[in-house]
Amino acid sequence: MRSSALEELRPDAGSLIVVLTGAGISKESGLDTFRDADGIWSKVRIEDVATYEAFVRDPRRVHAFYNERRRGLLGANIRPNAAHLALARLEREWPGEVLVVTQNIDDLHERAGTTKLIHMHGELLKAECEHCRSILVWREDMSRDMRCDVCGRAAGLRPHVVWFGEMPLEMDRIGEALDRCGLFVSIGTSGNVYPAAGFVSETRARGTPSVELNLEPSEGASSFSHAIRGRASEIVPAFVDDLLKR
Ligand code: BJW
């Protein structure tokens, strides 16, 4: 990390910092990314498990995919790493606001202590009823014939996740935060999936400084004003330390 370059990133003490996170921040907690060589999309096809059409065609298969990932997330060995913990510290200690917008459906930010958080692609530990639109906390396996606890109807429960072609959640709140933030930070995302991949361009158009913390340059790397390369568990705590020292 070049401290002279980082110095330029100094946002006003009272300003809002928006942090976008992706699968790379949870990799060192033991959860797979999507597009790395050993990632989830190297084992299953998007069109088989991550579209509404796939769910209608073969709900058993889609439920099996998410049931396995839910069981994995709840495994005793999965816990937040130093990067999640550093972002929770940033929220506690930064004199302005911090909003974490995560594409991840895991709950590792919450477990680390982050409270100002938007799960734009949903949450693995929740179910949604297609009949009454209730969102239910869900830690067990799910199947198509289960009944909704709220409306009592069967065959309507789906994982509360955003598949391709579906609208990500809380886009108005995210847009408002991007409009007024003093710093945009992106951590552990490949920049392949929109609309999240376009956030940096939105902030850049307003002249807002931005920094990408990732193992390697993302698809949109050239749009960031600054970059820090390395493993999230090492570079995120160092970055947060640096921001809080100023
Ligand atoms: C480390 C590290 C370490 C590793 N330390 N770094 C053309 C055709 C059709 C659709 C589109 C199109 N063009 C655009 C679209 C829209 C589409 C899209 O973007 N498609 C692209 C593939 C082209 N987007 C959508 O459909 C979205 N909706 C939408 O646009 O709504 C508007 C609309 C509505 C109706 C009609 C039309 C438009 C929805 C996207 C939903 C994405 N869903 C998923 C699955 C969620 C549930 C689940 O988890 O199963 O979300 S896909 C998957 O990708 C998941 C992730 O959140 C998302 C992003 O992945 P992420 O986090 O970036 O992970 P990776 O693996 O890609 O990258 C990890 C990075 O970490 C790498 O860079 C590593 O190097 C790094 N890393 N270890 C630091 N230790």
Q: Whole-angstrom Cα distance, residue 162 to residue 179?
A: 24
Beta-bridged to residue 157, according to DSSP, are 129
- What is the distance in A from the centroid of ligand 1 to the CA of 229? 20
Q: Are 42 and 245 in contact (CB under 8 A)?
A: no
Measured CA distances, 33 to 29, 38, 152, 234 (Å): 11, 8, 36, 18
Quick one: pLDDT at residue 58? 98
What is the structure's pLDDT at 11? 87
CB-based contacts of 116, cutoff 8 Å, min separation 6: 91, 97, 98, 99, 100
Which residue is associated with the tokens 């096809």?
45
Which residues, 6 or more positions from 47, have their beta carbon under 8 angstroms from its beta carbon? 53, 54
Tell me if residue 226 is catalytic. no
Whether 3 has a pLDDT exceeding 50, the answer reads no
CA of 145 to the centre of ligand 1 (A): 29
**pLDDT score, position 5:** 64
In this prediction, residues 76-97 reach a mean pLDDT of 98
Out of 102, 162, 164, mutate this one to test ligand 1's pocket (max ligand atoms within 8 Å of CB): namely 164
* pLDDT tens per residue across span 181-226: 999 999 999 999 999 999 999 999 999 999 999 999 999 999 999 9
pLDDT of residue 10: 80
Residues 6+ apart with CB under 8 A from 207: none
> What are 132-177's pLDDT values in tens digits?
999 999 999 999 999 999 999 999 999 999 999 999 999 999 999 9
Secondary structure of residue 96 in the 3-state scheme? coil
Cα three-residue angle 186-81-4, rounded to 5 degrees: 45
* Ligand 1: residue whose CA is nearest its atom 62: 22
> DSSP per residue over 12-67, as a string?
-TTS-EEEEE-THHHHTTT---SSSTTSGGGTS-HHHHSBHHHHHH-HHHHHHHHH
Ligand 1 midpoint to CA 7 (Å): 31
Report pTM: 0.97
Q: Give ∠ CA 76-79-85 in degrees, rounded to 5.
A: 160
Q: How many CB atoms lie within 10 A of CB 227?
A: 17
Contact 139, 110 (CB under 8 A): no
Q: What residue spans of the chain are helical by DSSP H?
A: 3-7, 24-27, 46-49, 52-57, 59-73, 82-93, 108-112, 171-180, 199-205, 232-245
